[in-house]
Amino acid sequence: MSTASPVVQISGLTKRYGDTAAVEGVTLEVGAGEVFGFLGPNGAGKTTTLRMLLGLVSPTSGRALVLGRAPGHPDSLARIGALVEGPGLYPYLSGRANLDVIARYAGVSRSAVAPALETVGLADRAGDKFSQYSLGMKQRLGVAAALLKDPELVILDEPTNGLDPQGMRDMRALVQSLGREGRTVILSSHLMGEVQQICSRVAVIDRGRVVADASVEELRGQADLEVVAHPRDVARRVLEALPEVASVRDAGGGLLVDVPTRHTAAVASALVSAGVSLTGLRRKERELEDIFLDLTGHEPVTTGRAS
Ligand SMILES: Nc1ncnc2c1ncn2[C@@H]1O[C@H](COP(=O)(O)OP(=O)(O)OP(=O)(O)O)[C@@H](O)[C@H]1O
């Protein structure tokens, strides 16, 4: 299922509504087989970007190629499964009957319905009415609908939004399984921990702009070094003099040092050589919340829309 060129290429993509720049100069690539996260607070521009990839919204400027085609091209739409608008399913029909209807409209064989129900874990509840499903089951049925075409690319807008913890766990496991099947997945989320768990790479989006585009490891690799040393003022001076050190902050009884992981040993040896007594040295993993704050200068909003 891999293709030589990126599955999604976006260049300078911009969408303005009057004076509001919903999306401003977004440039990104998503490679085949990636589980790619769009991370940002509510109103950051995630949904607008995803809608532009599907051809549902036309950009003000910039361009996008999805599976080698312009957004909305029938050839690429046939290879994309999306859950962006909310599933839009009939409440009085069973889960299975809903998928039968969608399969018919999409020109997909009904034989695709059972495997899709199986994939999302709804095979044993397929005969129940949609209206009797929990929100998590409704969302999963929406994903099943997106999977009927056996898509190469799956686009999910806030798939865990509004779900209870169990529903979120089920959805995360489902998205991970889609990635393991070799599909490319693009999902949006305002939850740092979620993206951290599911995604291989993440673009952090804030006020329409991409403020970081990196692997989760790269983002988290910016771990701080926690140093406990005496005398502390001497330790601070030694640390601040090291070219590799970006910053030194007080934290509790110790110092938090922003320095790349590969320089940990050099930091320790510089302190010891300066006669400082080193009693603690450890990497303190940063949460994506901290990273977001560093990147944007403000806290992410972590409450979801009701949907
Ligand atoms: N059709 C529209 N008309 C006017 N403004 C819009 C429209 N669609 C989106 N916007 C604005 O563009 C900005 C980005 O919205 P968007 O829905 O893309 O954000 P988001 O990151 O998906 O957030 P959320 O998770 O809350 O949907 C917001 O300020 C929003 O109000």
CB 292 within 8 A of CB 285: no
User: What SS3 state is found at 65?
Assistant: strand
Tokens of 146: 């997106």
ipTM for the whole complex: 0.94
Phi, psi dihedrals of residue 115, rounded to the nearest 5°: -60, -35
Distance, CA of 15 to CA of 25 (rounded, Å): 9
Q: How far is the CA of 22 from the centre of ligand 1 (A)?
A: 6
Distance, CA of 259 to CA of 177 (rounded, Å): 36
Q: How far is the CA of 306 from the centre of ligand 1 (A)?
A: 14
Ligand 1 pocket residue status of 33, Cβ below 6 Å: no
The pLDDT tens digits for 200-223 are: 999 999 989 999 898 887 777 666
Buried b (16+ CB within 10 A) or exposed e, 269-288: ebbeeeebeeeebeeeebeb
Ligand 1 pocket residue status of 58, Cβ below 6 Å: no
Tell me what pLDDT residue 2 has.
Answer: 45
Tell me what pLDDT residue 87 has.
Answer: 66
Tell me what pLDDT residue 4 has.
Answer: 59
CA of 190, closest atom in ligand 1? 25
Question: How many residues are there in the chain?
Answer: 307
Tell me what pLDDT residue 164 has.
Answer: 87
Residue segments in the chain with a per-residue pLDDT below the cut of 50: 1-3, 302-307
Distance, CA of 194 to CA of 38 (rounded, Å): 11
Segment 211-215 long-range contacts (CB within 8 Å, at least 24 positions apart)? 211/295, 211/296, 212/291, 212/295, 213/28
Of 13, 42, 48, 195, which is best to mutate to test ligand 1, by the most ligand atoms within 8 angstroms of its C-beta? 48
Ligand 1 pocket residue status of 151, Cβ below 6 Å: no
In the chain, the domains with their CATH numbers are 8-79+151-219 (3.40.50.300), 223-285 (3.30.70.100)
DSSP H helical ranges for the chain: 46-53, 74-77, 95-106, 113-119, 135-147, 165-180, 192-198, 216-220, 232-241, 264-273, 288-296
